[in-house]
Amino acid sequence: MNSPPQIRPFREGDLDACYAISLATGHAGGDASHLYRDPKIMGHIYIAPYALLEPALCFVAQDRDGVAGFVAGVVDTAAWEERLDRDWWPSLRRQYADPIGVSPGEQTADQRRASMIHHPTATPAEIVTRYPAHLHMNLLPRLQRRGLGSLLLGTWLAAARTRGARSFHIGVNRMNTGAMGFWTKRGFAPLMLDRVPESRTCWMGNQAIV
């Protein structure tokens, strides 16, 4: 009889699997491997810094075939962005060229991510003020629609609350309708922002998750 998937804290040996998950879910929830020459550049942004710099708030879902999902985040987004500028981006900026001479419309997928590394966009202040904590969560298809997303989320929220978090935000690709539905069902609502231009990212927040 197969044992059910388990949720557990991140371990250093999970990092490669987390990189792979980030790529496999990086195209509006689908596989992005055909878009990138560098298979790790997405993970450098969306999972590795959390796993390595804030491992106490990183958890994985594992089945008999290995790690197939993760959740990671921080309780203070503003402080986190300052920490990335100090402790994370500098080494990556030496590794990846800044595509500043290429217009955004002509950049490759790798160049767009490299631009994010060199010129990260701060989370809008009105979001950080009302919803200081944020998280990222991704599951491979084999673990989707099995309740693992809810278990991962619940595990992360419990850990974040012990560190004082009470309100949370996420950024979701508007084209990822599955993710939009998942977060809506769990109490997250789109945030109406006065001074933030329209983009592919839908900011969602929740102050009353139970």
Range of the domain at 181: 6-206
Q: Is residue 160, in this structure, part of any structural domain at all?
A: yes
Please write the tens of the pLDDT for every residue from 8-42: 999 999 999 999 999 999 998 899 999 999 999 99
**Which residues in the chain come in under a pLDDT of 70?**
1-2, 194-198, 208-210
DSSP for the chain, written as a single string: -PPPPEEEE--GGGHHHHHHHHHHTTBTTB--TTT-SSTTHHHHHHTHHHHHH-GGGEEEEEETTEEEEEEEEES-HHHHHHHHHHHTHHHHHHHS---TTS-GGG--HHHHHHHHHHSPPPPPHHHHHH--EEEEEEE-GGGTTTTHHHHHHHHHHHHHHHTT---EEEEEETT-HHHHHHHHHTT-EE---SS----SEEEEEES---
Q: Is residue 69, in this structure, part of any structural domain at all?
A: yes
**CATH code at position 171:** 3.40.630.30
Q: Is residue 193, in this structure, part of any structural domain at all?
A: yes
Number of domain units in the chain: 1
User: What pLDDT sits at residue 4?
Assistant: 84
Q: Is residue 53, in this structure, part of any structural domain at all?
A: yes
Q: Is residue 100, in this structure, part of any structural domain at all?
A: yes
Nearest to 171 by CA among 141, 143, 116, 133: 133
Please write the tens of the pLDDT for every residue from 169-192: 999 988 888 889 999 999 999 987
Q: Is residue 1, in this structure, part of any structural domain at all?
A: no
Q: Is residue 96, in this structure, part of any structural domain at all?
A: yes
Q: Is residue 34, in this structure, part of any structural domain at all?
A: yes
pTM: 0.92
- What count of other Cβ atoms lies within 10 Å of the Cβ of residue 130? 12
